[in-house]
Structures are given as structure tokens and as C-alpha cells.
Amino acid sequence: MVQWLLNYAPVIALCVSLFALVTSCFSLGWNIYRDVVMKPKLLVDFGIKNITDGSEVSKPPLLIISATNYGPGQTTCEFTMIKKSSLPRILFRRVRRFVVMHDYTNPLCSKLPNRMNMAEKINLVFPYDRDCFLDSRPTHVGVCDSFGRYHWAPRRQVREALAQYEEEFPESNQEK
């Protein structure tokens, strides 16, 4: 046994060293990926919603954008955006983005910029009337985070809100 150990000791040391090198490289790569590449993801919801109180009386509907931080780590929601996009607009580089100011006076509305820990949620409230931002027929509604990334609500939710807006305010259906 001692003779075998003396013959193969350099090979065993080399294997252990290679295993340690691979483990160190993996650990370094994961730390770089986790700290630099992996940014927090926000899940955004959008819709026309009613808020009711205990007497079952429905208050006027509101446009509400909700954003939930799915992590990892913290992020800051900076502002809300809408985008008007279509294939011809993309091809001719005419995509239009707009910053939308939410209702700061509403007590149910979160204030921006808002620092969010993982699993925290913010609600941004907008008035729902004939002159709301749906009048410009956006194709995307979302928020921008502190990393400069846009997080958009599902297009289906935007289309449903636009359909409801066009039903309630048919006279404002002029294409802009």
C-alpha cells in the first residue's frame, strides 16, 4: 500500500489540484454572474380596476400599474413609460416612448422613485377618463428600473384596457 501511494501520489495531487482549480473557476464565474449580470426582474401588471369600500359602492375606475420585484436583490423603480410601436414604426425607427406621470395626490399610489426589496410590490394609480394616456393608443405600458431596463406589462392586458377604453369613450377613437 505504501509503495502504491508513493507511485501515485503526484497523480492524486494533480487530480486534487485540478478539482480545486475547476471549483475556484466555477465559484469566481458564479460570483461575477450574480453580481454583474443577474439584475432584478420586475413583473408588471396593468389594467382598469375599481376600488370598492365596505359599503359595496364602487368608486370611479382607475388605471393601475403594479410592479413586483422578483429579485434577486434590490432595485429602484424610476418612472412609468408607455410605448407606441408597430412593425412599420420599428422598420423606420419611429417607435415613440413617453414618460407618464402618475397621480401623486392619491393616497393609494406609491411615490416614484421607489426602492424595492425582493418580493415588494408598488401600485401606481392614474385617473381613468377621456384624457388619460390610453387616448394615445399605446402598445406597451410599463416601468423603468434603476438599471435602465424597461419592464412591460403583458400586451394582452394593454389590449384589454384599450378595448374597454374604446367602448366607454367611442368619440375619442380618432387615430393619433
Spans of all domains in the chain: 1-38, 40-172
Summarize pLDDT for 112-152 with one digit per residue, the tens: 899 999 999 999 999 898 889 998 899 999 999 988 899 99
* Residues 34/20, Cβ–Cβ less than 8 Å: no
- Fold classification of 40-172 (topology level): Immunoglobulin-like (2.60.40)
According to DSSP, the residues that pair with 97 across neighbouring strands are 83
Q: pLDDT confidence of 172, banded at 50, 70, 90?
A: low
Q: pLDDT confidence of 175, banded at 50, 70, 90?
A: low
Q: Average pLDDT, stretch 48-56?
A: 80
Summarize pLDDT for 68-116 with one digit per residue, the tens: 999 888 899 999 999 988 777 777 777 788 889 888 888 888 898 999 9
User: In which element (H, E) is residue 77 found?
Assistant: strand 75-84
According to DSSP, the residues that pair with 58 across neighbouring strands are 52
pTM of the model: 0.76
Residue of 69, 143, 154, 152 lying closest to 112 (CA atoms): 143
